[in-house]
Amino acid sequence: MHVALLVNPTARADAGAHAAERAADRLRAHGVRTALISGGSAEESSDLLAAALELGVDAVLVAGGDGTVNLAIQQLAGTGIPLGIVPSGTGNDLATTVGLRDLDADGAADAVIAGRTRTIDLARIVRADGTTTLYGTVLASGFDSKVNDRANRMRWPRGAMRYRIALLIEFLRLRGEPYEVDLEFADGTGERVTGDLLIATVGNGRTYGGGVPICPDADPADGLLDVTLVRPAGRIHLLLRLLPRVYRGTHTSAPEVTTYHVRATRLSSPGVTAYADGDAVGALPVRVEVLPRALTLFAPA
């Protein structure tokens, strides 16, 4: 068996890199040929993974968070080549969704060695210019994406505190954005939702942002996507009532929240950026459609 082990290109000296080395040692101890891949950037890492796949590997193991896993998803979708995850990023939401979050390096390697697999759906984003990209967790737009936009523009502080400050600033500036949301259901019918929204998310998985269950009923293997729409409400109500429910995953019954199960949807709102698997994927409008059983994953014991 030959495994390509993709390491977060920005994490060579941190815990993620150490976890990758440990997983590689365990795989090799069981006779699995393992090659570590880590470019100087996401683009270079993707090129190196593509080269490894062209040469021929039996599986890919990723040591990192959702962004690094997403690099592998782009190339493994539809191939049947199984993906393993050593969850060592800041978010790890796909690992959470598929029950791999608690695996350490040894556990992730053992899942590869055991060879048990399962398949899950992926979501495909189609941008206005026709280009596409895939994701495994949640596409976020609205308030969430504005927080990310601001955090990405900030040079200080570093780490989680930068996100918290961006969250506070955007909360003080909170307002709804005009949206058009076209929904396509599994039975072939459709519906259009218009009006101001604070948040519009499309989930293949349940969580984003490191474990926030914004789409608590999403099942990554049901052939559907979960859409969660949040309409404007007063800041105090959102802070004291709705936000705690979001973190508990009980917000879907709130009067300002509407959810849908769809096979595809189109989100449109001027000036709003969409984020998926934690990274910016482009400005709205975008179409999002489900790709059933598109990704094969190693399943833990």
- Matching residue, tokens 């737009």: 141
Distance of CA 118 to the CA centre of its chain: 18
How many Å apart are CA 49 and CA 36, to the nearest integer? Answer: 10
- The pLDDT, as a whole number, for residue 148 is 78
Asked whether the predicted pLDDT for residue 247 surpasses 90, the reply is no
The model's pLDDT over 129-175, given as tens digits with 9 standing for 90+, comes to 999 999 999 999 998 888 878 887 887 886 667 777 887 888 887 88
* Domains of the chain, first to last: 2-115 (3.40.50.10330), 126-292 (2.60.200.40)
What is the signed CA dihedral for 102, 260, 275, 43, rounded to 10 degrees? 70
Q: Which residues are catalytic?
A: 279
| C-alpha closest to that of 1 among 49, 29, 33, 24 | 33
Asked whether the predicted pLDDT for residue 195 surpasses 50, the reply is yes
Asked whether the predicted pLDDT for residue 272 surpasses 90, the reply is yes
DSSP 239: I
How many Å apart are CA 285 and CA 267, to the nearest integer? Answer: 5
Asked whether the predicted pLDDT for residue 186 surpasses 80, the reply is yes
Q: For residues 253-277, give the mean pLDDT.
A: 96
- pTM confidence score: 0.92
- Percent of the chain whose predicted confidence (pLDDT) is above 70: 96
Asked whether the predicted pLDDT for residue 298 surpasses 90, the reply is yes
Asked whether the predicted pLDDT for residue 11 surpasses 70, the reply is no
Exposure pattern of 85-97 as b/e (b: 16+ CB <10 Å)?
A: bbbbbbbbbbbbb
Under the banding of pLDDT at 50, 70 and 90, the label for residue 12 is very low
